[in-house]
Amino acid sequence: MKISPEVSPYLSGEKFSNGLDVRYECNDQDYVYRSRIDVLRELCQSKNVVHLGCVDHNEDMIARKLEKNKWLHKHLCDVSERCFGIDLSENGIQYLKGELGYQDSAVLDITAGSCESLEQLQWDYLLIPEVLEHIGNPVQFLADIKKQHSGRFKQVVITVPNAFSLDIMKQAVKGIETINTDHRFWFTPYTLSKVVHSAGLKPQKIIMCKGGIVKKRSVFRNYKFSRNPLLRGNIVMLCSMD
């Protein structure tokens, strides 16, 4: 899925509207309803990738997700040529290395520096999954990454929760906001594109997907989401640093 080219001047600030109708160009693949994990597994197949935020929130959450086969870092390591995990959490990285055996990982603030393992390759992807909504200044965060690592990654892949999610809207009708309490922002495809563009990156492709597992038995629900990509729970955006 791509934003219509007519929207580009609004992303750059050349034009302004307080009621712009943003149109999206979809192809057949956009009407295939998939999970975020499936989308990222497909992207990372046989690729060299860096997974920013690999620890998740804490060790207990990793254990719960492993039980349900929903821990993203394991899926990425299973399919990629190399998956190097980085995180700010020293305890988390120690847990990954000591308890789970994921030695290809390091404590690193990617906005402030590099490390030997990061400099060994020109990587296919820098993955920033479910991180940006936790960051106080997402534009500066991405701009700092570009400043430190321009040319090191062929593409940046960002995933965030979708503010248009049908499940979110159903709760809102009841007067309820269901949210991870550490989130600072909700995103839409346009607002994520605006953040990315403002940071000096170029949005290239958008994939709308489900945050959790797509259950095959939910036939009617799956059909509804297959026909309405903008109502899905997650946004995956591929960006260029050029």
In a domain, 141, yes or no: yes
In a domain, 10, yes or no: no
Q: Quick one: tokens of 181?
A: 């309490």
Q: What is the reported pLDDT for 56?
A: 86
Q: Quick one: tokens of 115?
A: 């490390």
In a domain, 5, yes or no: no
In a domain, 6, yes or no: no
Q: What is the reported pLDDT for 88?
A: 95
Work out how many domains the chain is built from and give that number. 1
In a domain, 4, yes or no: no
Q: How far is CA 43 from CA 9, 73, 154, 156, in A?
A: 29, 14, 13, 12
In a domain, 139, yes or no: yes
Query: Between vectors from CA 89 to CA 39 and to CA 144, what angle results, nearest 5°?
Result: 70
Which domain does 68 fall in, by range? Answer: 24-240
Q: Quick one: tokens of 213?
A: 């597992």
In a domain, 2, yes or no: no
Q: What is the reported pLDDT for 211?
A: 92
Amino acid of residue 54: C
**CATH code for the domain of 175:** 3.40.50.150
Q: What is the pLDDT along the chain (242 residues), one digit of tens a residue?
A: 988 889 999 999 999 999 999 989 899 999 999 999 999 999 999 999 999 999 987 888 899 999 999 999 999 999 999 999 999 999 999 999 999 999 999 999 999 988 988 988 999 999 999 999 999 999 999 999 999 999 999 999 999 999 999 999 999 999 999 999 999 999 999 999 999 999 999 999 999 999 989 998 999 999 999 999 999 999 999 999 98
